[in-house]
Amino acid sequence: MNEEKTIKKFFQSRDVLKWVIIGLAGFAVLILVFGAGVKVGTMKAMYSYRWAENYHRNFGGPRGGFLGDLKNFPQGDFINGHGIFGSIIKIDGNTIVAKAKDDVEKTVLVSDSTIIQKGRERVKLPDLKVDEDIVIIGSPNEEGQIEAKLIRVFDGSDPRGLPYRPSRPVPFN
């Protein structure tokens, strides 16, 4: 009988009830933290699950591309607006007639302030020859000619690569 009273008194005390509530609250917090960890892990797994297939989406910029606002921008090479890439057809005084890759001939005006580069050297207009490949950057005038600011001459030889360095020998041939 005495034992029953002790057990009854134990469960009726407020200290036990307080510890039971604290234990249940701690268990609920533990379950919530575990659930949050599962949710974060699931999100990471979904993000990296198809990484290779979505590579362009991950690094492609905004949906319209990096130039998404310029969708109506003219297509093609940008250099043709104020320059030309092609070969020299004719040199007449301070005027060069050059033929672009799309078989369009353009007239280029060369002034004293025009920089003409051949490799790393600066050259003058008389040093240019017909059939040399050139890139011209300038601005158009009212007559449809290009006033050259920079002319770059390519000599047409194969580009030099890095110097040849033999690889180290493979030990087990």
Tens-digit pLDDT string for the chain (173 aa): 677 777 777 666 667 778 889 999 999 999 999 999 999 988 887 766 666 566 555 555 555 555 555 555 555 545 445 778 889 999 999 999 999 878 888 999 999 999 999 888 899 999 999 989 898 988 888 888 899 999 999 876 655 555 555 666 666 65
Contacts with 68 (C-beta within 8 Å, 6 or more apart), sequence order: 61, 62
Separation of alpha carbons 147 and 137, rounded Å: 8
Separation CA 143–CA 39 (nearest Å) = 67
Third-level CATH fold of 79-154: OB fold (Dihydrolipoamide Acetyltransferase, E2P) (2.40.50)
CA distance 168 to 61: 41
Instruction: Please tell me the distance from the alpha carbon of residue 56 to that of residue 158, in angstroms, as a whole number.
Output: 34
- The two structure tokens encoding residue 160: 């030099």
Give the residue extent of every domain in the chain: 1-73, 79-154
